[in-house]
Chain A
């Protein structure tokens, strides 16, 4: 198990380095950074001055290692737009995004897994049809529209929940539902398909032949085997929620990291964009690593050769 974890960890570090290289290169792929900072009407001497000031005249690799080591210390440079350290800016926004992401994926898992199991236990029953209906709805409905519908119902008509802001837990209810509902269909279907397959397995019959109760057969013997691919999917979706919840954050005016990324791209604020790309990728890498560990724990065939 330890060897497996170390191998995965080494892989994760390599992926992180690659991603950091790509995200740093973005700075140069989108045109001359010095003239971008100087603005439209800057003279050639001003641009040159800025180039030397920011160190853009140095060789690429030197700039990259410089940036990487600063980043490792938590220093991502200054935001061009806010004239503030990027690290502070992001730290401020990240808590909102992380809270939203955790609530979203929890909502998705807590609805999708039980629904998927129930649907698999009684295929073509009412509960299976209901699960199918909900998942098709979730896949077909765009988040922005679903978010607006919720606002109309719960904020405008019923006045139960605040439509925007992030001051209390109430602000997170609707964003959680919208974000979670987006991830729910895939998880539900994967759980259902996995359970249907596992419930036909010979070892399920063995468990019944031992005299195990249906409940025990379902949850001890079947679900543990069925849930392995679900863990991987949930990890990817969790990463997606943290990096890509821009739409949901905009609708509910939750000023999270996704929203900041969107603003910074519009403002050509490259240090912020670089740092966010790196952080969002790190989320993916960390969650993939964790899901690999979880899967190895769930399925001994992965960890014991």
Chain B
């Protein structure tokens, strides 16, 4: 029971480009247990989405993917046939995407698309699938579910479509759900609703969840574990408490400085920002990827980065240890 449902070790993803190979994901790893939520945080292009697609087996064939370990519910995902992966997808692992407006097929009704998710994996009749669709639409808080089934995606608002996407992902009660920035495209008021819904359902169904986001406010609210990605690497990971109360990597600290803290940030106070841009990942890369933007970088950073650990789960990639070289107090009680 305590075995992780998903175990990733040293996952790398390379993208062959005309000007060379881009090392988009460089040796990341994490474990996730049933009922746990892992938040993957990072800027655009840090490899968050690629990582989720790789777990689902949905990466384009042009991309090269390697891993020392990629295990889901005791299955080695590296040597599953495409057919076996299809059997897992939508059944035992499901995914919710960033763009609810375009993620549903415009040509089919909501009902057709929900039922398809069920019928692909269960030996069931149309009536049973329909009943399941109604049940799930109710679960995701859609009223008048029966009548929604005959509607088309273009008749629904973005928030409703994302609820439908969530219902679709949950049709077969997956053990793992991956949500790739599920609220980015939605209104702020709807964002909170959708997230609360996701985390309630996750608890109710005891699923493992990976939530990809760049919104630390969201992370603070629902994460058990956090992995901070930068330029294709996990630069720091640990429990949510460790990351928010005791961030070790300068990048994590920088990110935390970027969000306002209720009661702590004074009105009119400037929020932090991280200067510079993400380095190009084309070609061979040595040393710490963050050194160009880091205010505590040292010459050695261009050659090597040690992995440091503390306690059970807290890990970071930096030459600096516990708080050393840290500028000023983001250290304590930042968690909003």
Contacts and interface: CB of A to CB of B under 8 A. Distances in A.
Interface of A: 201-203, 205-213, 221, 224-225, 298-301, 304
Interface string B186-230: 000000000000000000000000000000000000000000000
A301 B151 CA distance: 11
A15 B325 CA distance: 80
Interface stretch (B5-13, B33-41, B70-78, B85-93): B85-93
Nearest to B154: A301
Task: Please provide the 3 A-B residue pairs with the shortest distance between their CB atoms, ordered closest to farther.
Answer: A211-B90, A210-B90, A211-B89
A178 B165 CA distance: 48
Given A202-B99, A205-B58, A304-B155, A211 B121 contact: yes
Contact of A221 (B97, B102, B105, B117): B105
B104 A206 contact: yes
B152 A206 contact: no
Interface in B99-123: 99, 102-107, 109, 116-117, 120-121
Given A206-B168, A208-B89, 8 more contacts: A206-B97, A207-B105, A209-B56, A209-B97, A210-B89, A300-B106, A301-B106, A301-B154
Interface in B13-58: 56, 58
A203 B94 contact: no
A301 B152 contact: yes
A206 B110 CA distance: 13
Contacts of A210: 89-90, 94, 116-117, 120, 168
Contacts of A209: 56, 58, 89-90, 94-95, 97, 169
Contacts of A221: 105, 107
B103 A205 contact: yes
Interface in B128-158: 152, 154-155
A153 B200 CA distance: 73
Given A211-B91, A212-B86, A225-B107, A300 B154 contact: yes
A304 B58 contact: no
Nearest to B98: A202
Given A205-B97, A300-B154, A304-B152, A212 B116 contact: yes
B152 A211 contact: no
Nearest to A204: B105
By CB atoms of chain A within 10 A, which of B88, B94, B116 has the most?
A: B116
B116 A203 contact: no
B165 A206 contact: yes
A202 B181 CA distance: 14
A202 B99 CA distance: 8
Nearest to B92: A211
Nearest to B101: A202
A208 B88 CA distance: 11
Nearest to A300: B152
6 contacts: A206-B104, A208-B89, A210-B120, A211-B88, A213-B86, A301-B152
B39 to A, nearest CB: 20
A206 B103 contact: yes
Contacts of B95: 209
A303 to B, nearest CB: 9
A203 B89 CA distance: 15
Given A209-B58, A210-B168, A301-B152, A203 B90 contact: no
Contacts of A298: 107
Contacts of B87: 211
A212 B120 contact: yes
A205 B57 CA distance: 11
Contacts of B168: 206, 210
